[in-house]
Amino acid sequence: MKKVQNPKRGRGASDNPINRFEGNYLDYDLDEESGEKPSVKTQLIADHSKEIISYNSSPDVPFNAGINVYRGCEHGCIYCYARPFHEYLGFSVGLDFETKIMVKYEAPKLLEKTFRSKKWEPQIVAMSGVTDCYQPIERKLQLTRECLKIFSEYRNPVGIITKNHLITRDIDILKELSAYNAVSTTISITSLDNKITNVMEPRTSRPYKRLKAIEELANAGIPVSVNVAPIIPGLTDHECAEILKSAADAGAQRASYIIVRLPFKVKELFEDWLEQYFPDRKEKILNKLIEMRGGTLYKSDFKTRMKAEGLVAKQIGDLFKVQCNRYGLNKSVFSLSTEQFKKTHSEQLTLFDL
**pLDDT (0 to 100) of residue 345:** 54
Average pLDDT, whole number, for the chain?
88
Bridge partners of 344, per DSSP, are none
| For residue 207, pLDDT beyond 90 | yes
Residue 263: Cβ within 10 Å count: 18
Torsions phi, psi for 311 (to 5 deg): -65, -45
Bridge partners of 224, per DSSP, are 185
Q: How confident is the model at residue 88 (pLDDT cuts 50, 70, 90)?
A: confident
**Within a domain: 126:** yes
Mean pLDDT of 329-350: 77
Q: How confident is the model at residue 82 (pLDDT cuts 50, 70, 90)?
A: very high
Cis-peptide into 230, omega within 30 deg: yes
**Within a domain: 306:** yes
Q: How confident is the model at residue 334 (pLDDT cuts 50, 70, 90)?
A: confident
Count the residues in the chain. 354
Helix (H, G, I), strand (E, B) or coil at 27: coil
Q: How confident is the model at residue 19 (pLDDT cuts 50, 70, 90)?
A: confident
**pLDDT (0 to 100) of residue 64:** 84
**pLDDT (0 to 100) of residue 205:** 97
Note whether 214 and 248 are within 8 A (CB).
no
**Within a domain: 61:** no
Q: CA–CA distance from 216 to each of 222, 229, 246, 314, 335 (Å)?
A: 9, 21, 14, 33, 21
**Within a domain: 74:** no
Q: Which of 43-57, 212-226, 243-257 has the lowest mean pLDDT?
A: 43-57
Mean pLDDT of 279-296: 92
Q: Which residue has the higher pLDDT, 97 or 353?
A: 97
Q: How confident is the model at residue 126 (pLDDT cuts 50, 70, 90)?
A: very high
**Within a domain: 207:** yes
Residue 239: Cβ within 10 Å count: 20
Amino acid at 175: K
Range of the domain at 168: 108-348
Mean pLDDT of 124-141: 93
Count Cα atoms within 13 angstroms, Cβ side, for 300.
5
Closest of 113, 45, 109, 105 to residue 74, by C-alpha = 45
Bridge partners of 66, per DSSP, are 54, 126
Chain-centroid distance, C-alpha 261: 12
Tell me: the pLDDT tens digits for 145-173? 999 999 999 999 999 999 999 999 999 99
Tell me: the pLDDT tens digits for 243-279? 999 999 999 999 999 999 999 899 999 999 999 999 9
Mean pLDDT of 19-26: 64
Residue 142: Cβ within 10 Å count: 15
**Within a domain: 15:** no
**pLDDT (0 to 100) of residue 335:** 86
| For residue 354, pLDDT beyond 50 | no
Helix (H, G, I), strand (E, B) or coil at 91: coil
What is the count of structural domains for the chain? Answer: 1
Q: How confident is the model at residue 40 (pLDDT cuts 50, 70, 90)?
A: confident
Using alpha carbons only, what angle is made at residue 21 by residues 85 and 88, rounded to the nearest 5 degrees?
25
Q: CA–CA distance from 302 to each of 60, 73, 305, 308, 311 (Å)?
A: 6, 25, 6, 10, 19
Q: Which residue has the higher pLDDT, 129 or 265?
A: 265
**pLDDT (0 to 100) of residue 33:** 58
| For residue 235, pLDDT beyond 50 | yes
Pairing of strands 125-127, 65-67: parallel
**Within a domain: 318:** yes
d(CA 42, CA 126) in angstroms, rounded, equals 26
CATH code, domain with 326: 3.80.30.30
Q: Which residue has the higher pLDDT, 60 or 124?
A: 124
Count Cα atoms within 13 angstroms, Cβ side, for 297.
17
Chain-centroid distance, C-alpha 135: 9
| For residue 129, pLDDT beyond 90 | no
**Within a domain: 88:** no
